[in-house]
């Protein structure tokens, strides 16, 4: 018998086989917003809902059906996971040659984060997920303008990354445009801080968490945090994401301890939907009016936990040179002038360092 060739990518990612999210776990009922209603119909009731959600929990499902950008994300995310599988299957020594360096500055966000690179609690428990951050500014430029070395499966998929990135970025900007108008701010104020061709900390994050090791909860894949960019578009297929039941409006550095009492609630994955959430930069720009929801990732519950968990995350973040201060407009609470200017590249860099220094690592 000839040796059976392994198909391209492995079979680790088998979304058609995943059992439903089990009953009996406390879940959060996120609202579902239709992307087609937002960008094709320009439905004002849907826009109002987006704004209310962003002032509330700051998390919602975005139904991607019925419009071209949505289809690009639905199909693209599946293809991204195939790339992720190929990348994570590389030998650890090879992956470590792409390790992301905690040097500050948004460029340092690119590359590989191994399992256990971060501490998740005061007891020193290590995380269990691996990431590969694929920088926007690397994928959208011609090959001869790329600044870093990338694993072959990522390079081979560069046109697909470009398409996914441009689409995810434009969806993020459409949502920000809606929010801007409600804040009484010219959408250009947001556009000019998030120009795609400018250097920024935007990236596609490919993540892989191993199957659940033991029944008891939790085993932390990604510790409690708020995202530090402006808006995040997340695709996942298995449970594992949890949000803190209470919202907090402080734009804070990574802090593993929620600062308001509450409990962790599961976010059920929803077919053909992205999960959208706001990050600390949106809190900063709106002087605390918008909310960055606190969240974390643990292995999926019940029978879903037998599968490795992949996710594809796109972070829209302010341009490196953007000065991180609140916008002024009739809908934004007026705060005092910031004492000193800090640019987004440094702001994000500080948060990355904060992330790794938590619990005195
Ligand atoms: O994997 C997920 O579902 C969420 C990942 C996440 O929160 C992050 O990478 O910031
Ligand atoms: Fe996150």
CATH number at residue 39: 2.60.120.330
Atom of ligand 1 nearest to the CA of 240: 3
Question: What is residue 49's predicted lDDT score, i.e. its pLDDT?
Answer: 98
Q: Does some domain include residue 5? A: no
User: Cα(62)–Cα(31) distance, rounded to whole angstroms?
Assistant: 9
The ligand placed nearest to the CA atom of residue 240 is 1
Distance between CA atoms of residues 268 and 110, nearest Å: 29
Residue 63 — φ and ψ, nearest 5°?
A: -75, 120
Return the closest-CA partner of residue 316 out of 348, 346, 351, 353. Answer: 348
Residue 8 belongs to a domain = no
Q: Does 109 map to a domain?
A: yes
Residue 38 near residue 60 (C-beta atoms within 8 A): no
β 264-266/222-225 pair status: unpaired
Atom of ligand 1 nearest to the CA of 241: 3
Go through 330-361 and write b for each residue having 16 or more CB atoms within 10 A of its CB, e for each that does not: ebbeeeeeeeeebbbbebbbebbeebeebbee
Assigned domain for 16 exists: no
pLDDT of residue 351: 74
The helices-and-strands tally (H runs, E runs) of the chain is 10, 12
The answer to whether residue 313 sits within a structural domain is yes
Q: Is the CB of 351 under 6 A from ligand 1?
A: no
- The answer to whether position 43 is within a domain reads yes
pLDDT of residue 283: 93
Structural domains of the chain, count: 1
What is the structure's pLDDT at 337? 87
Pairing of strands 222-225, 295-297: antiparallel
CB-ligand 1 contact for 37 (6 Å cutoff)? no
Let me know if 178 is exposed, middle or buried by CB neighbors in 10 A (0-12, 13-18, 19+): buried
**How much distance in Å is there from the Cα of 212 to the middle of ligand 2?**
20
Atom index in ligand 1 nearest the CA of residue 209 equals 1
Express each pLDDT in 191-202 by its tens digit: 999 999 999 999
Residue ranges of the chain with per-residue pLDDT less than 50: 1-7, 9, 251, 253-254, 359-361
Tokens, residue 354 = 């904060």
Q: What is the DSSP letter of 224?
A: E
* Amino acid 3: pLDDT: 45
**Is residue 221 lining ligand 1, measured as CB closer than 6 Å?**
no
In a domain, 10, yes or no: no
Distance from the alpha carbon of residue 257 to the mean position of ligand 1, in angstroms: 17
Tell me what pLDDT residue 360 has: 39
pTM: 0.93
Q: Quick one: pLDDT at residue 95?
A: 96
For ligand 1, mutation pick of 234, 264, 277, 348 (most atoms within 8 Å of CB):
234
Beta strands 231-236 and 222-225 are unpaired
Which residue segment(s) compose the domain that 156 sits in?
A: 26-358
Query: Does residue 3 belong to any structural domain of this protein?
Result: no
Asked if omega into 218 is within 30° of 0 (cis), the reply is: yes
Q: How far apart are CA 326 and CA 341, in angstroms?
A: 11
d(CA 156, CA 162): 12
Q: Whose CA is nearest to atom 7 of ligand 1?
A: 296
Testing ligand 1's pocket by substitution, the residue of 81, 130, 207, 231 carrying the most ligand atoms inside 8 A of its CB is: 207
Q: How far is the CA of 278 from the centre of ligand 2 (A)?
A: 9
Q: What is the rounded distance in angstroms from the CA atom of residue 160 to the CA atom of residue 73?
A: 11
Q: How far apart are CA 204 and CA 231, in angstroms?
A: 13
């Amino acid at each position: 018998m000839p040796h059976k060739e392994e198909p391209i990518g492995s079979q680790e990612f088998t979304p058609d086989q995943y059992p439903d999210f089990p009953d009996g776990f406390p879940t959060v009922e996120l609202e579902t917003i239709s992307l087609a209603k937002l960008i094709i119909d320009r439905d004002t009731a849907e826009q109002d809902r987006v704004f209310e959600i962003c002032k509330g929990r700051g998390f919602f499902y975005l139904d991607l059906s019925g419009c071209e950008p949505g289809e690009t994300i639905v199909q693209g995310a599946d293809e991204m996971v195939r790339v992720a599988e190929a990348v994570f299957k590389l030998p650890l020594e090879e992956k470590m040659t792409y390790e992301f360096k905690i040097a500050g500055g948004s460029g340092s966000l690119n590359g590989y984060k191994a399992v256990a690179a971060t501490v998740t609690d005061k007891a020193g428990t290590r995380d269990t997920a691996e990431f590969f951050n694929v920088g926007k500014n690397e994928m959208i430029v011609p090959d001869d303008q790329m600044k870093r070395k990338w694993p072959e499966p990522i390079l081979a998929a560069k046109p697909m990354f470009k398409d996914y990135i441009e689409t995810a970025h434009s969806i993020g900007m459409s949502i920000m445009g809606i929010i801007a108008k409600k804040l009484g701010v010219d959408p250009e104020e947001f556009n000019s801080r998030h120009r795609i061709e400018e250097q920024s900390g935007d990236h596609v994050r490919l993540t892989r968490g191993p199957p659940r090791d033991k029944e008891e909860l939790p085993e932390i894949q990604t510790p409690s945090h708020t995202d530090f960019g402006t808006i995040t578009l997340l695709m996942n297929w298995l449970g594992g994401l949890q949000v803190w039941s209470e919202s907090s409006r402080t734009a804070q550095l990574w802090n593993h301890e929620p600062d308001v009492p509450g409990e962790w609630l599961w976010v059920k994955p929803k077919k053909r939907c992205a999960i959208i959430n706001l990050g600390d930069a949106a809190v900063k720009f709106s002087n605390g009016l918008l909310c960055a929801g606190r969240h974390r990732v643990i292995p999926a519950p019940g029978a879903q936990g037998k599968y490795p968990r992949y996710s594809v995350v796109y972070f829209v973040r302010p341009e490196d040179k953007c000065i991180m201060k609140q916008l002024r407009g009739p809908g934004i609470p007026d705060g005092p002038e910031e004492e000193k200017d800090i640019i987004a590249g440094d702001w994000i860099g500080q948060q990355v360092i904060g992330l790794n220094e938590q619990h005195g690592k």
